Each structure stands twice: as structure tokens, then as C-alpha cells.
Structure 1
Amino acid sequence: MRIESFDLLDSKDKFHQKALHWSGQFDEISFFNSNGMSDQWGKFEQILAVKALFSFRANKNVFDGLDAFLKLHRSEFIPGFLSYDLKNEIEELQTTGMDQLEFPEAYFFVPAITLRWTAEQVHIEAENPVEIYQAISDTQIPEAFPMALEVKSRWTKRAYLNAFENVQAHIQRGDIYEVNLCQEFFAENVDVSPVELYHRLNTISPTPFSAFFKVGHHFIMSASPERFLAKRLGKLISQPIKGTAKRGANPREDQQIIADMLRSKKEIAENVMIVDLVRNDLTRSALPGTVEATRLFEIQSFEQVHQMISTITCMQSPQVANVDVFRNTFPAGSMTGAPKIAAMQICDQVEARKRGIYAGSIGYFDTVRDEFDFNVVIRSLLYNAKTQYLSFHTGGAVTNQAVAEQEYQECLLKASAILKALGASLKE
């Protein structure tokens, strides 16, 4: 394998598009794009990896199998994903809901070709970097055609309100004190270009943990703003999101909305609950006394929404393997509720659909530097090209203080960028 660097003759965005269209010839594609929002723990501006030299796919005994796979392969970049429903392997839980996407529960691969972007260059690691650069440069971006899909909601508004009331009754009985209630939106018998769809979504809603992933006929197009878990120099970093508000019409409105969020007892209470849950999860992998909430209630602003984000860190115990860190923390607490196990049980009962990759995680392991970085799969489209089934979920935290109508509108707000990318009308 050789690494060579090339000047970008096209704009970076245009070369991304060319590279993704060029990569469509391969069964395995992973593209991560920080959209210029990478923080102190981010490692890549953009990175594209294609063509599996070695791969790991599993639907059971995932964590043991993944641990063995990572120990076998020494590589700086091993991308992949973990399904939300791996909770069933970690705890004594079951998922009985329907699954029309049929993704594997986990998939990782060691790429044959890797492209890393910096400000004005692309660095290609492959057997033939010059040929690859030329092939991408020569790639024609297909003409983009307008989309006009009809997207259906799995629940009517009345069904969502009934589910909300069901969950809130559990809270009032003391079974749980917060739960992340999610609903599915879907389209059937649709033939779409996943690369074009991802480009539209990323243009409308650029986020720091944006990702495009392909394995066979399964595609993930993610505009995630949330980091689940990263590891840097032995430190574990989790950044849960709890607290969402729409963008204002101008900077003054934005300032007022942010001020209101920081004064909101409901938003602060939701965020505190998840911070406590994450601190508890990280304690199981941490050196004693190192777990701390280093930043609380930060507001980050994206194209459609403001989000309240907190940062929790710890030093990883040398007795705890990286895969066991995931066993101890997965899935993301922001997508479950608290107490975590009880919340997941109630979600399964009420939602009656398999979440699958939604609320799971996409990221990579670096087994050379002993690092990793994974997002939370939210604001993301999932597509099975074989069955032509397209799906996405949205959700929000339900507490005793939550108001059903407000939470329903928040779900629609979170869906807005995806619906715009699809050119979709929503039908209940």
C-alpha cells in the first residue's frame, strides 16, 4: 500500500461528490464528513474508505466476534456500525417489532482504499493512488432530478399521543422517570440514488458526525449531530444531546431561543438525567475517581435546530477492553431513557417496531493508536435497495413535565431536513 497526496483541482465538495459516485462500484463504502465542525477530539475533516479486504458481519455473539476481529487486524481505520438492538445481547431484553430493513446487527471492514481530505489536498492510500485520483477526477456527477416522494408515518398523530400517554403513565407509576419515545416514517417501493440523497441531506443539514455507509444493498445516510463515544489517549468522551429548539428567523430570535433553553427547567432536567445515566455507564469502564462532567448545557446551533449538549469524560481502566467499553455503555443513553433497562423495555412494548440501525452507532476503530470515535444514528435515512424500503425515525424525551403536543411537534421538527431532502409530502 502506498500513500500519495494530490492537489484538489475541483472544489472539495465537488470532489466529495465525484468520489462517492466513483465509489458506487464497491460493495463496501464508508464516508465520514465533519463539515468543518470537528472539535478537539475529531480526527478527520473527511475520510472515504471502500472495498473490504477483511470484514466482520454478525447477528449474534457480536461483541465477542468484534473483539476477535479487532485483535486480528492492525489498521488505522476500521469503519462500521452497531445496531441499537444489540441491547438484547447486553441485557436480558427482546425485540419483537417488525424489521423491514434487514440490516445486519453489526458490520465492520478493513478497507483496501482510503482517502483523507485536508484543506486543499486529498491523500490516497491504496496500491495505485495515481490511477484512483485520475478515475475520480474523470467521474461525471449525474444530473440531479427533483424528488417527490410520499412518506408515511407509522403512527397517526392520535396514535403518537396515545403512546405518549402510555409512557407518561409508566413515569407517574414510578417505573421510569424519562424515556425516549420514537416513531417511524417510511416510503415503500422507492428507487432512489443513495449518494444523491446523502448529498442533498448533507447540504440541507450539515452536521459534525455526518456519514454515508454502504454494505451490499443496505445504505445509511446520516446527518447526526451527536457523538456517542470517542477514545483519545486513554480518555473516553461522551456527548449526549438532550434539549432541542427550532432556529429563529434572525440572530436576535436565535439569542432569545437559546436564552429560553438555558432557563427551561424541563430542558435542563432532561439533560441532567442523561448526564447522570452516562456518568453511571462510564463508571463501569473508568479508572476510579476520573468520571466527570467537563461541560454542561452547551448550546450548539445547526441549520434547523439548536441542541443542548453536555460532555462527560473519564480515563479508561487498563483492565477494560475497548469492546467491553461498548458493552458497558451501549446503546446511547440519550436514545433510551432512565433507568436504562426499564426504559428500553417500555420502548419495545410501546413502539412495536425494531429500531435497527436507528439509535445505534456508526464510527471507526483505530487499532494502531488504540482509539475510536462513534456517533449516534439520529437524523438518518436507512435504505434497503433490494426491497426498495426507505425509513427514518425521530424521537424525543418524555418526562412527567412533558406536553404531548409539544413533543409531537419536536418529532416533526427533527424530521424536517430529511423530508426536505426527499422532496417529500407527509401522509399519516
Structure 2
Amino acid sequence: MIAPIKNLPLFKQKALQWASSFDAVCYLESNGFNDPYSKFDTLIAIGTKDEVTTHAGHAFDQLETFRQNNPGWITGFFGYDLKNETERLSSANPDGLEFPDLYFFAPLHLIIIKDGKTEIISDESEQIFKLIDQQELIMYTEQLAIVLKSRFSRQEYIDAVKGIQEHISRGDIYVTNFCQEFFAEYAQIDPLGIFIQLNEVSPNPFSTFFKWKDNYILGASPERFLAKRGNKLISQPIKGTAKRHIDVQVDEQIKQQLRNHPKELQENVMIVDLVRNDLTRSAKQGTVKTEELFGIHSFEYVHQMISTVVCELQEGLSAIQAIKNTFPMGSMTGAPKISAMQLMEQYERSKRGVYSGAIGYLSPDNDFDLNVVIRTLLYNSANQYLSFHAGSAITYHADPEKEYEECLLKAQAVMEVLGVTR
């Protein structure tokens, strides 16, 4: 069923409200950002015909089997700690969320919005359209301030960055992404209300509301991890961040400073090289290339430096294998990749879990699109544990105090909607 919608924002909010009553929901929102690689403006996957839930070990093999049994649309997430399956690594840091490392589901109902038209793919499409249309929107109450804790004090974070830089000086690594967790125990939030506010405060091209039973992922990600279009793979790593300014002229100056900042350029090119190397595992020989280097893209709070790396997919290589070959994404690890991940396991004080993993879909034509889980709030409503991470790229020339401030900048939107007190 395909129908034009007069008030699209209202329809989407009603559809999400209706969908959130199911045990499994994946809402992917582009927020109007123009992207030549996107298949839709909004996708809502609702309810489960089939699902796979697993931890690192044989997760990618299980997903491969699940995909073969479900060749239509599937949506889900990859946790960062699947690194322990792709490489000889381990995770021993505390985990308050207890999410699985991988969860995918084949939806009962699917809503796709593209260019103002809405398609409902379901055995009950007309009934669903009526149910959504009849929804009365719930008025969400203002969030009571959350008392947030951090795994690091400011000084502890700065000291840790200095320790990491000693490893860089010794040549153990060149660059890494060092992350810290902000968390709250006994936290009570309205996940849907928080997501709607987050999406208003910080609209981004890979925003996500994901529900799996009592677990929620509320994301405002600006970053694509990996997409497949036909025989083409696309990765768009972000490295380089600058705070926006309300004054238009000053804001433009900040953009130019970011475009020419030696440290930011160094970070970005290092990760581009890493992504190029990762893609060679899945590429036809000689096809890996950089489509855009050091592109500056503007979002609500920040300007970001984004590069685009592409290749042609090897014949006979499955979509799942292509994902596995590049996971986790280079922008959240560092270089050399394995050494950086090993080192961050020592310096970080919490398990990343879904953070710096990926959320997205595979479509019936076997294309896929996956984001990077950043600027994202994670919530286990059963044990009332709330968590989000923020990180920054550490290089030899990094200023530890500025890196700490960058973490707070990246966490700003999430903190705002939580009414955080620290």
C-alpha cells in the first residue's frame, strides 16, 4: 500500500508511537539530509516474524544463516565487542546494560517513507494505516533531571590521554579513539519521549529509535559505517570536530579552521588509510578509492570532517562477510587497528557494548546501510541503567584538556534532553 501523507511529521510521530508498543522496533530517520546513497527518508520496522539474538563467538555465521532464511528486509544492531570474534581480543570491563552483541529481526510490518510518499509493507497494511491515523499523540512530560556519573573525573581522563600519548611516542599506535562512559543507576525515563526530544534538539542523518524488549537505543548519529549499493561498498568515516557558533560569519571561520587544522587533517587521513585497508579485504583488486577527502559537513551542534571511501565488491562475497571484514569501524578504533583496540581495553573503564557498534538494515536486493552508534543513549528499563559514551581521537599532537572538552561537546545534546545535573 502506497499513499501520500498530508502532514508527514505528524504521521511519523503517530507511527512511531504505535510501533513502540511492540517488543521490537527499528526506526531509522534521515532528517532531510541529502544523501546520494540513501534508499529512503524514514524506515520503521515493527514486530518480529523471526529474530536472532547472540553474543560474540559465531555471531556473524548465525546472522548469515538468519539472512538466508529471511531474504527480505531485516534490521538490527552489531555491538562493538564483536571485535572479539573478528580478531583475537577480549572484553573484561564492567557492563551495566547487558545487551546482546548482535540482534536482528525480520519485521511483521514495514513502513518506508520516501519523497513524501508512504509505503506500508504488511499483510494488514490498510488496517495499520487506519490504526496509525487514529492514534492520539501522548503529551510527554518534562524529564526529571538525571544525576549522571562518569567513569573518569576530568583529571583522570586527562592523565589517561597523557598515558596513551606515551604509547604513541613509543610507536605502539599512531592514533586511537578513547571513550568514557557517562551513566545513571535507578534512572527512570520515557524512552520515546526522550528520543523525540533528542531528534528535535539534534537532528542527524542516521538517527535511530531501537527497541528490543526492555532495551532501548536512542541515537542521533551523523556517521555512516558501511553501505552496499549493488556491487559498490561505501564507508564514510568521521574524524575532525568543531563547535558551531551562533554568528554566521564566525561559524564560517570555524569551518575554515577545521578544514585546515593540521591535527584534524592528520586524524582524518590516518582513518581513511585504515578504512581503505579494511575495504581491500572485500574489494575487487584495484577498486578502492577515496571519493571525497576532508569534506566539511554541518550539524546542529558541530561541524564534522567526513571522508568517503568506496570500492567494488568481490564477486561471490556475501553482504554479511563484507560487514565482518570491516568491523568494527576504523573511526572508532584507531591505527594499527588491533593494537589500538587492545590498548583501549586497558585504558577504558566500561564495556562499549552497542556504542561504537552499528545499527541498520539489509534490504531484499541484498543492499545494506549501517550507521556508527555515536551520540547515542542506551537504556535498560528492566534494571533502570542508563548509559552513553563519548570519545575523541588521540594523536601525538592532541591536547588532553581539549579532548576532554570535545567529549562533553559530543555529549551535549544527550545531556540536554536528560536535564542532566553532574
Give TM class, smaller chain.
over 0.9
Letter of the 1:262 partner, please give it. R
Measure, in 1, the Cα distance between the counterparts of 2:5 and 2:283: 43
- Is the contact made by 2:151 and 2:349 (CA closer than 8 Å) also made in structure 1? no
Q: What is the match of residue 136 of structure 1?
A: 132
Does 1:379 find its partner at 2:375?
Answer: yes
Q: How many residues align?
A: 420
Q: What is the match of residue 306 of structure 2?
A: 309
Q: What is the match of residue 400 of structure 2?
A: 404
SS at 1:92 equivalent: coil
Letter of the 2:128 partner, please give it. I
Moved more, 251-260 or 13-22: 13-22
Does 1:215 find its partner at 2:228?
Answer: no
Identity %: 47
SS at 1:150 equivalent: coil
1:65 to 53, 62, 67: 62
Letter of the 2:192 partner, please give it. V
- Is the contact made by 1:96 and 1:352 (CA closer than 8 Å) also made in structure 2? no
Q: CA deviation at 1:67?
A: 0.8
Moved more, 373-382 or 153-162: 153-162
- CA-to-aligned-CA distance 1:302-353 (integer Å, 9 cap, x gap): 0000000000000010142222212211001000110000000011000031
Does 1:85 find its partner at 2:77?
Answer: no
Q: What is the match of residue 196 of structure 1?
A: 193
2:117 to 121, 144, 160: 121
- CA-to-aligned-CA distance 1:361-420 (integer Å, 9 cap, x gap): 001112x31211000000000000100111000000000000001101100100101111
SS at 1:131 equivalent: helix
Q: CA deviation at 1:119?
A: 3.9
Moved more, 154-163 or 391-400: 154-163
Measure, in 2, the Cα distance between the counterparts of 1:400 and 1:319: 41
1:107 to 84, 87, 103: 103
- Closer, same or farther in 2 for the Cα pair 1:319/1:131, shift >3 Å? closer
Measure, in 1, the Cα distance between the counterparts of 2:90 and 2:159: 23
SS at 1:35 equivalent: coil
Q: CA deviation at 1:216?
A: 0.7
1:26 to 22, 25, 48: 22
Moved more, 21-30 or 308-317: 21-30
Letter of the 2:110 partner, please give it. T
Does 1:187 find its partner at 2:192?
Answer: no
- Is the contact made by 1:35 and 1:208 (CA closer than 8 Å) also made in structure 2? yes
Measure, in 2, the Cα distance between the counterparts of 1:86 and 1:47: 25
1:350 to 347, 355, 378: 347
Q: What is the match of residue 225 of structure 2?
A: 228
Measure, in 1, the Cα distance between the counterparts of 2:34 and 2:342: 35
Letter of the 1:71 partner, please give it. Q
Measure, in 2, the Cα distance between the counterparts of 1:141 and 1:163: 47
SS at 1:363 equivalent: strand
RMSD after superposition: 1.1
Q: What is the match of residue 240 of structure 1?
A: 237
Measure, in 1, the Cα distance between the counterparts of 2:40 and 2:349: 37
Q: CA deviation at 1:118?
A: 3.1
Give ranges in structure 1 of 5+ residues lacking alignment. Answer: none
Measure, in 1, the Cα distance between the counterparts of 2:247 and 2:257: 16
- Is the contact made by 2:151 and 2:350 (CA closer than 8 Å) also made in structure 1? no
Letter of the 1:166 partner, please give it. G
Letter of the 1:301 partner, please give it. S
Does 1:392 find its partner at 2:396?
Answer: no
Does 1:365 find its partner at 2:358?
Answer: no
- Is the contact made by 1:190 and 1:388 (CA closer than 8 Å) also made in structure 2? yes
Measure, in 2, the Cα distance between the counterparts of 1:323 and 1:121: 30
Moved more, 239-248 or 256-265: 256-265
Q: CA deviation at 1:121?
A: 3.4
Measure, in 1, the Cα distance between the counterparts of 2:93 and 2:221: 24
Q: What is the match of residue 6 of structure 1?
A: 3
Q: What is the match of residue 47 of structure 2?
A: 51
Letter of the 2:341 partner, please give it. M
SS at 1:44 equivalent: coil
Q: What is the match of residue 13 of structure 2?
A: 17
Letter of the 1:61 partner, please give it. H
Measure, in 1, the Cα distance between the counterparts of 2:70 and 2:330: 30
Give ranges in structure 2 of 5+ residues lacking alignment. Answer: none
Letter of the 1:199 partner, please give it. I
SS at 2:148 equivalent: strand
- Is the contact made by 2:180 and 2:349 (CA closer than 8 Å) also made in structure 1? no
SS at 1:374 equivalent: strand
Moved more, 105-114 or 151-160: 151-160
1:267 to 247, 264, 268: 264
Measure, in 2, the Cα distance between the counterparts of 1:319 and 1:19: 38
Query: TM-score scaled by structure 2?
Result: 0.98
Q: CA deviation at 1:132?
A: 1.0
- Is the contact made by 1:38 and 1:45 (CA closer than 8 Å) also made in structure 2? no
Query: TM-score scaled by structure 1?
Result: 0.96
Does 1:292 find its partner at 2:254?
Answer: no
Measure, in 2, the Cα distance between the counterparts of 1:419 and 1:352: 20
Letter of the 2:235 partner, please give it. S
Measure, in 2, the Cα distance between the counterparts of 1:323 and 1:126: 25
Measure, in 1, the Cα distance between the counterparts of 2:71 and 2:178: 39
Letter of the 1:98 partner, please give it. P
1:163 to 151, 154, 160: 160
